[in-house]
Structure formats: structure tokens, C-alpha cells
Chains A and B, each alone.
Chain A
Amino acid sequence: MIIGSVLGAFLLLGLLGIIFNRLPQLHALVYAGCMVLCAILVGDGVYHVLHAGREEIPAVVLPFGLPWLKAHFRLDNLSAFFLVVINFPGALTSLFGIGYGAHVPGARRVTPLYPLFLFGMNGVLIADDAFVFLVSWEFMSLSSWLLVLADHTNAEARKAAMVYLVMAAFGTFCLLPAFGLMAGHDGAYGFAQMRLAHLTPLAGGLVVLLALIGAGSKAGLVPLHVWLPLAHPAAPSHVSALMSGVMTKVAVYGLIRILFDLRGDISWKWGFVIMVVGALTAVMGVLYAMFQRDLKTLLAYSTVENVGIIFIALGLAAAFRDHGAMTLSALALVAALYHVVNHALFKTLLFLGSGAVLASTGERRLDRLGGLLNRMPVTGLTFLIGAAAISALPPLNGFVSEWLIFQSLFQGPTVAHWAMRFGVPVVGVAMALAAAFAGTCFVRAAGIVFLGRPRSPEATAAVEVPLSMQLAMAIPAVLCLGLGVFPVMVTAGIATVIEPLVGVQMPAALLGWPWLSPVSPTAGSYSATMVLLTAIGLTLTTVLVVHHWGSRRVRRAPAWDCGHPEQIVNAQYSADSFAQPLRRVFGSVAFGAEETVEMPSPGDLAPARFTLRMIDPVWDGLYAALLWLVNAIADRVNRLQFLTIRRYLLLMFATLIVLLLVVAVRQQ
């Protein structure tokens, strides 16, 4: 009831946005409205998770949609959980949008579409039949596509939108037969009937594959990720935050709904496949991110990495479940959903931070920024917290979910098959590499943008953004700490959510509340609360000791820099030079990175030049070949357009004969 009216209100806001398009106050009003609506949905979701968690929620049937199939809606634990995950960042981006939305390029096109995008994402969550699910899914895709295209004068945005549209269509094209196979011959499109359906192993496997491709293309699984780093940064920053932090989570929701709810019998082999694809995605995503020169593209690639980490845990959960290790399956699923929450929080925070930087300096290129921490203290501090959280540093939230995923990975060899036993350590190495690279990547991002000396006049002139935007970044920053320090509360909540899916209640803490020890009391534990309390105690001791016995004098002086300080700001390390050692070791393998230095001959006054060439193995290797194939086929088929009428008639006649033959054979 509440959700229905809120969704209606989203549509209404979109409509208002279209009608009163020229009103200058429109932007703030629409975003404020969205913020309130999202907050209501968050409240509703939290209420369902906490209170109504265990009772059966009846499905709501509304009389629209296809004539023989009414629209079914239902809010169960999983939907309620994702309702919170989607709408909390939604409320934050709306709050950010109040101050930001009026100043983005193409603001008059962005504002009406923004509530519609939220409408689409929420629709996916409460759908209880394939029809509503797919229609909402497409609504979400198309509205975000239009948002990417908002700045349509920009050629890059047009290209991004084109690639996005093709990939989104491809994703839905895969989801459609997946639901079709589950519905069976009778066309039972309701989720309730699908749960009872029995599929042949072949059809069951096909469903998993199609769902993985369909949802994976939206989530950004390698090699289906190519649209993501183009499309997410092209949209205005608060929309980028929604697309990266939230829309990828809708895709994760779709996959969990299909793999863990609608289909109960996924073979562990599929779990293994998902895990390996996740590991590949995590490592490739962060490697791409490390070498980006554009802040928003870097963040988008980092989303690819985090989606990979989530998929590793999802694959593990599926493998454990097939093996009968239900508690471990619950642990892996809790870890996955914990990371879903965390990534939704810190990626929203980081994208909003990049939006604040963009609003203040007009720059996204790392090498044009620098020294912003002194000029934008709140943005800088919150961005640093977000960077530390995404680098999985204790006591912030990113560490807790990665710790849980490592703990469940370490239990992976429980599935006694050689593929798992040899595969899991390799996946573990991949995950460890991804975690370490993420740290490097975000030292680079935060260090180059916010520290050092400003590298351009725009960065020198930067000022802090308005209060509403600061608040939108401060809230997730505080929560990154909160969810990191009180992890047991979060795991207990998530354990309730997934109880219907795995059938066991995961013990939230075996050692009592401050200790997170999921596997057994002796198998490793972590207590963020104790770590934080001890850290506070040690900090106080250190400060007291240093200030009691040490000198308190501080003198400001020019930087020493080994005795020959450079006044030129470009003598600082740049984004490219920071990544150089890793580019030399990993970039040459993964991206064929080549560096060439052209030194002029002695006495020549021409400047020396440094060029860097990198290729994108996925785009150049896979998609270029696909494009070539499509073009080649199109060229052949093109001849059909220039036939004589006689030939057309002949073709029609032949088609008719063939179809009649098919019908005749089927009826035999």
C-alpha cells in the first residue's frame, strides 16, 4: 500500500517535471520530493526486515498488464532488504541533487527522468511475476539510458548511450528466455508457480547461464562490462552514483532472486563458474581502474571490481548450498549482501564526492586537480573516508565484508571436488590481489585529487560546495564507520533476510555481540568494536606521551625535497607516474602497455615527449570482432533491399511453403 502510493508519486513527480519544465524552482522541488519518497521506502523496508520478517506476506494482484496475466507484487524479506539498499543511497543522491541538479548540463532533461529511474528500480524489487519484473527492468534501463544521453551535445555521451542501449537490450534479451524457460509450456509467469516448476537439467543450466549473462551485463561482469565505464561517468554525478552504487545492486538482486529463490537446485559447478567469473571481474576491474585518468571512469571501473567481489561470494554460496553446507552457504550469502550494502554506501559517497569536485572545479581529469583537501575540507575528508572504506581498511565497513568473504573462501575446499580445491585458492589469490590493488588505486585517486599542490588554476580556485551537498556526503561517511564498528547488528539483520533462501539461521556471533566469528569460535574472529576502542586508547596514550615529553613547536617552511624543491607544480607525481610501476608489471600483460620516450638530440630545443599506449583487451579482442561480424552479415543481408518485386514474391512464397511444412511435420 505504502509502496504502491510512493511509486505512484514517483511517476507523478516525473510528470510534473515534464509539465513544469521551465520553472526554475522545479529542480529543487523534484529532488526534495524524491528524497522524501526514498526515505519513506527506506523506513518501510527497515520495518519489514525488523518486524514483519517472518510472517508470510500476501501478494498484491492488480488488474493491469497482459489480458490473461494480472500484475503481481509482493514484498518479501529479500525485496525489503534491497528496498533499503536502493532507496537509502537514492535519498542521499536526491539530497545532493537539491543543490546540484539545477547546474548539470541538460538539467531540464535530467530532472523529470530522475524520479522515473527510481520508479523503475523499485518496480523490479517488488515484482512477483516475470512480466512486471521485465517491464520494470526495461523501465530502469531506458530511463537511465536517457539520463546518460542528457548531455546529448557531447559526442562521448552519445557513444556511451549507444553502447549502453545495445548492452541493455542484450541483457533483457537473455533474461526473457530465462524466465520463459522457468515458466514452462503453460506460461506460468508468476514467481510463485516458478518456484514449484521442475526443469530438466539442460533447461535448468540454461536458465542459470541466461540469468548470469542477463543480470551480469547490467551489473558489469567482465566481459560484459564495456558499457559501464562509458555510461556511468557520462551521466550527471548524482545519477552516476545511482547507476553505480544502486542499479548494479538491482542486477545482483535479480540474480539472487533467480538463483536462490526461484531455482532451488543450482549445481555447484555453476557456483564455481560464477565464482571464477567474479574473480576475473574483480581483478580486471581494479586493474582498469588503476590506470584511468578520469576520476569518474576510475570509480566506474572500481564498481566493476566490487561487483566481481560480490559475485565471488554469490558463487561460493551456490556451491556450498549444492554441497549441503547450509551454514557456510548462509555465511557466503551474508558476506555478499554485506558487501552489497557497503558498496552501495561508499560508491555513492565517492561519486557524490566526484560530483562535488566537478561542481567546484569543472574538472574530472586527475592531472588537473590536486590540493583540494585544504580548499574543500568536508568533501576531502568524506572522500578520504570513502577511499579508506573501499580499500577495506579497518575499522571501516569495507573491511568487514571482505573479511567475511575471505572467511567463507577459506572454507571453500569443504566442497570436496578437485575443481573447488584447486580453484578456490586461485580465486583467493585473485581476491587478495583485487583488495591490494584497490588500496593502491584509491591512494592514487584520493592522493592526486585532494593532496599535493593544485595542478591547475581551476583547482587553485576551488571552494567548498553548499551545505546540502556536504550533508549528502557526510551521512554515508558516518555510516561507513558505523557499519564497520557494529558489524554483528548488520549480519544479524541480513541473516534474517536470507533465512527463507537457505533454510538456516546463521548464528550472528558465536562469541557474543562484539566478536564476529562466523565459522566457529576458534576459527578466527574479528571485533571491530574492540579494535576501535583499543585504537582510541592507544591514540590518547600516544598523544599524551608525545605532547608531555616531546616538543610542541611547529615551524612552517618551504618543502625540503632533498634540498632542491621544484616550484613547478608538474614536478609532483602525476596520476600516470603514480601508476607507472604497476603499469610496467601488470599493464604490459593485461593491456599491452607501451611507453615511448622521444628525447630530442642534444642542443635541440624541441621538448621531449612521452607517449603511453594501452589497449583494452576486451573491447579490441572481443567486441571489435563482434562488430566486424555484425557489419559483415549486415552487408550481405543488405542485398535483400534491392531485389525486384518478382524475387520478393518468390521469397514470400518459399517462406510460406517452409512454414507450412513445419506445421505439417509438427502435427504428425
Chain B
Amino acid sequence: MTALLFGIIHTWLVVGFAPLITGVVRLTKARLQGRRGATVLQPYRDLWRLLKKESVVADSASWMFRLAPYGIFVAVWLAATTMPTFTTYMILTPAADLIALVALLATARFFTALAGLDVGTAFGGLGASREMFVASIAEPAMLTVTFSLSLVAHTTSPAAIANFVLGGHVGLQVSFGLALGALVMVAIAENGRIPIDNPATHLELTMVHEAMVLEYSGRHLALLEAAGMTRLLLYMSVIVCLFFPWGLAGPESGPGGLLIGLFAWLGKVLVMAVGLGLFESLIAKMRVFRVADFLGGALLLALLATIFLYVAEAV
């Protein structure tokens, strides 16, 4: 019963805090660029404004175009619902493991790309093509990270991996470090952050994600934006849960433990948001075809993480 309750709280927590995190990233970047910047609450206002606007749908669009935003948002939200944030004791934690997480995000991407192709414009196709190109390398990298973690922890469930790390079985492992590096690179690519994609641009040929959703407006766009924000928070939560799970509440934790878990998660995620803003301010956007090198690097790092396990064992 409590597991159900925590599950419901968690479900709303991930959507509720997602715009805040995006706001923190934007504010950090604004301050670093010498601007005053909007408040961290601005993303909430943006979503509300978009929700209230009428939606313009292109003449050539099919029903796919109108249904896709709902599908995409639900797929991302569902993925976020199954990944632990402040506690591992949730009803849906065993419903999906890391492989299922990759696949749920792939579902969202599948429909985003199809929606990009639906209107039949050059920009939509360009975005869809590039998004699938990025995903074609990022997704295997993420799966290989899962592979290396499961070799260490003998599980693909994020909650179980977190417990394994908390149990102190890991220590300083090269494999874990490499896997973390690979996962961060994948997270940057999957969320369309600099240096892969620029979330702030609209009229550049380098854009990927924004090109796909160019035709969207009103409530449909609000859903897509919310999906993007939730995905960012989701990836941060996954990194926190797998590699820095300290403070995470378990099934035995009392109310105090839960509060600690909640604030620990929030603190870690906020630190990561500021870190992301800092990183994006320091680095320049990459050419599209350099992305293959970047993500190929992530894939190799993850593969090395698995191989090093056996090398370490053999030596």
C-alpha cells in the first residue's frame, strides 16, 4: 500500500520538478552569459501559456501528428515513473529495468521522428533523420552501459544496482567510472544538449530535435516541451540513482529516511542542473557528423568498461 502511495507521489514529483530543473539550467546559463535571466519558474509559465493557445495543424498532417505528442509525453513520463528517485520502494520499480528504460525512450523517439515526417516538410525530415542517426549510436551505448553495470551488480534493475552500490561492494572501480562517463555522454546526446544539439536555437541548420517539432504549436507543443523537460530530469535521476545513490530511501526507511531521500535527490539533481548549465556555457556546438565520433567514443567507453572487468580479474 505504501509502495503504491510512494509510486503516486513519485509520478507527480518527476513531472512537477522537471520544469524547475530546466529553469535552473537556463538561469545558470543566463548568469554565466552576463544576463539577468528569467526566474527558475519561467518554464512553468511557458507551459501554461502554450496550453492556453490554439493549436495550428498543417493541412497535410494525418491523425498521427495530433496523437503523437500524447504518446511521446506518456512514454517519457512512464519511463520516469519506473525509475527510482527518492526511494526504491515503489510499486512500479520492478515493472521496468534499464533495458526497458532504453526501449521506452526509444518509443518516444520513434513517434517524435514519425511526427517529424508526417507533415512532409524538408525541416521535419531533416530533424527526424538526424535524431534517428544520433539515437542509432546513443541507444547501443546506453545498452552497453547497462551490460557493464549488470556484469558488476548481476542485475539490470536500477533499484538493485543502487542497493549494490550502497552496500559498499563497488569501491573505486575503473569499470564504474567508464560506465559513468559513457552514460553522461549518452544523456547529453539524448537530451539534445550542447555539444550535440542546441535546445535554444530555432533557425539553424544544425538543429535536430527542434526541427522535428517545428510544426507544433499550442497544447501539442506544450506536451512535447514537457516531455523534453521530464526526460532531462529522468536522465539526471538515473545517473544519480546508479552512481551516487547515497541517501536513497529503501523499504525499511521511516519518514525521516524518506525526507532525507527526497532532499538528497533534489540536492543532487540541482547540482547536476547547475553543472549542465556551466558545461554548456563552456563548450561549443559540434558539427553534425562529429556526433558519430562523440557517441562512438561513448560506446567504446562502455565496451571497455565490460572488458576491463575481466582484465582486472585476470591480472
Interface residues of A (CB under 8 A from B): 370-371, 373-374, 384, 388, 391-394, 399, 403, 406-407, 409-410, 413, 418, 421-422, 425-426, 428-429, 432-433, 435-437, 439-440, 443-444, 446-448, 451-453, 511, 515, 517, 522-527, 530-531, 534-535, 538-539, 542-543, 546, 549-551, 553-562, 565-566, 569, 571-573, 577-582, 584-585
Contact = CB atoms under 8 A, between A and B. Distances in A.
A525 B95 contact: yes
A524 B55 CA distance: 42
B16 interface: no
B310 A559 contact: no
B154 to A, nearest CB: 6
A371 B130 contact: no
Given A447-B113, A560-B215, A543 B70 contact: yes
B92 interface: yes
Contacts of A403: 99-100, 103
A374 B100 CA distance: 32
B22 interface: no
Main secondary structure of the interface of B (DSSP, over half): helix
B122 A451 contact: no
16 contacts: A410-B147, A433-B140, A435-B140, A443-B113, A452-B60, A452-B125, A453-B60, A453-B120, A524-B157, A543-B70, A546-B219, A550-B222, A554-B57, A561-B122, A566-B121, A585-B289
B276 interface: no
A602 to B, nearest CB: 23
Given A391-B110, A524-B156, 5 more contacts: A394-B96, A394-B103, A403-B103, A523-B157, A579-B129
Contacts of B78: 531, 534-535, 538
Contact of B140 (A429, A562, A569): A429
Contacts of A443: 110, 113-114, 117, 128, 132
Interface residues of B, number: 87
Contacts of A549: 51-52
Nearest to A557: B56
Interface string B31-55: 0000000000000000000011111
A425 B307 contact: yes
B128 A410 contact: no
A562 B133 contact: no
Contact of A522 (B51, B114, B129, B160): B160
B64 A451 contact: yes
Contacts of A371: 60, 62, 120
B219 A370 contact: no
Given A451-B64, A550-B52, A410 B156 contact: yes
A438 to B, nearest CB: 10
B215 A452 contact: no
Contact of B53 (A440, A452, A551, A558): A551
Contacts of B118: 373, 447, 451-452
Contact of A440 (B136, B222, B299): B136
Given A436-B140, A559-B119, A546 B57 contact: no
A439 B132 contact: yes
B33 to A, nearest CB: 25
A428 B113 CA distance: 26
Given A413-B151, A515-B94, A531-B96, A439 B106 contact: yes
A522 B288 contact: no
Contacts of B240: none
Given A429-B303, A443-B113, A551-B219, A534 B95 contact: yes
